[in-house]
Amino acid sequence: MSHPAVVVSARRILHVDMDAFFASVELLRHPELRDRPVVVGGGGDRGVVAAASYRARSYGVRSAMATARARRLCPDLVVVAPDHRHYVAVSSRIMDCCAEFTPLVEPLSLDEAFLDVTGSGGLFGSDEALAGELRRRLHEREGLWSSVGVASCKLVAKLASESAKPVPGPPGSAAPVDGSGGVRVVDPADELRFLQDRPVGDLWGVGPVTGARLRSLGVATVAELAGFPVEALVSHLGPSVGRQLHELANGRDERPVVVDVEARSISQEETFAHDRTDAADLRPDLLRMAEQVTRRARRRGVEGRTVHLKLRWSDLGTTTRSRTLGEPTADGLVVASVASELLAQLPVDRGVRLLGVGLSGLGPPADATQLRLSLEGHELGTNVTSSNRAAALRAADEVRERFGETAIGPVVSRSREAGGDDATGDDSR
């Protein structure tokens, strides 16, 4: 008698990445710029490119490049100021479209997401078919092209979508983008080979510093990294980075697709056109930025306990200061006054190039009432209803009536002193 084979169902992870997102969105709004090289970004002396159209890329222009340098590479360049709100709106529709393929969608940024499509295969046929259909729908609805990678883990899926990206053509050429291509599916059996010959810098978590450290150890490729002793990596790079990189280099990446990632901090920073040397000059900006940060917190229904102040000096050095409060707050005046005290201890006459204000330790307000939405034991999310317990309880009743008794978990009053969830469990009905 034979036992059925143990089938370890491999995950199928999809990574979708919009092509030249901000720039493509602007080209849709400004068709008259179709034949011009376009970047979105800051235009001043200190501006940088946030996104470059493919026509701009054909001149060597890249994102994160100083706008001044981009202009030298491409004198004809059109620089469009970013319109963040609009990109957020487009992004939200893109994520909705992704959600038609699986509920497991994890946005990475406005123009990128991971989808766990392990369970979606049967609905769309092959991975290629699913990826192609996602790409087609995104173009049909938003007029935007994307690149899609599918593999058994996030690392390979992301590299796969990258490898499916269009390549800029010779100077002056338009976007080499169309309905063909744009999809790369990596078979599980091919994943190690797919990784092997790449430079270590392709791995998630290897930037300039770690890359240089690895090269000094004689490690340049993923294959070399995979064969390097873990202990040596740990002693040179620290336990966290060392182990993580060793796993990734060997094609092991179990990071799940996480649906509701709650923000841990909110911040706002600004580089001045001209450096400031007087604290009094900074106060109005500090107050305004504290107000912007706390308004965003209030809109999300959270308060923060730690106020952060950041300064970049004329010589590009950076100093940060932070203070944790006894009580969480989303009050702009409170944040501004704490930040102001921190600022008072710093030598502003050194020359301030950048000012930043932030709030971390975010959570629901101390007096919030939370609804936990769950279905058959699976947590779907937490709906915070600030300060209005009666409304929260009514909302809970509505959900129960529509979806049944198991649809909603206990109603909870948040108490931070108790370390988070102080489940009162008294969903009084």
Partner DNA sequence: TCTGGGGTCCTAGGACCC
Binding residues (CB under 7 A) for DNA: these are 42, 46-48, 50, 63-66, 68-69, 72, 108-109, 111-112, 158, 203-211, 238-241, 263-271, 296, 305-306, 312, 316, 318-324, 353-354, 358, 360-361, 419
Contact 25, 86 (CB under 8 A): yes
Name the residue nearer to DNA (CB basis): 239 or 347.
Answer: 239
Contact 356, 267 (CB under 8 A): yes
β-pair partners for 38: 78
Q: Is 6 exposed, middle or buried (0-12, 13-18, 19+ CB in 10 A)?
A: exposed
Write out the H or E segment, with its range, that includes residue 210: helix 208-216
Name the residue nearer to DNA (CB basis): 68 or 174.
Answer: 68
Residues 162 and 201: their CA atoms lie apart, in Å, by 14
Name the residue nearer to DNA (CB basis): 189 or 209.
Answer: 209
Angle between helices 239-249 and 230-237 (to 10 degrees): 140
Nearest approach, Cβ of 244 to DNA (angstroms)?
8
The pair of three-digit structure tokens given for residue 393, joined into one six-digit string: 């309880």
Name the residue nearer to DNA (CB basis): 169 or 199.
Answer: 199
Residue 120 has a CB neighbour count (10 Å cut-off) of 18
Name the residue nearer to DNA (CB basis): 131 or 362.
Answer: 362
* Residues recognised as catalytic: 112
Cα angle, residue 156 at apex, residues 155 and 158 outer, rounded to 5°: 70
Residue 3 CB-half CA count within 13 A: 3
**Phi/psi at 3 (nearest 5 deg)?**
-80, 145
Q: Of 196, 210, 213, 207, give the one whose Cα is nearest residue 248.
A: 196
Contact 365, 303 (CB under 8 A): yes
Name the residue nearer to DNA (CB basis): 338 or 393.
Answer: 338
Residues 234 and 312: their CA atoms lie apart, in Å, by 32
Intra-chain end-to-end CA distance of the chain, in Å: 56
Angle between helices 279-300 and 332-344 (to 10 degrees): 140
Name the residue nearer to DNA (CB basis): 311 or 393.
Answer: 311
Give me the torsion for CA of 417, 420, 426, 429, rounded to 10°.
130
Residues 117 and 130: their CA atoms lie apart, in Å, by 9
Contact 112, 144 (CB under 8 A): no
Nearest approach, Cβ of 95 to DNA (angstroms)?
14
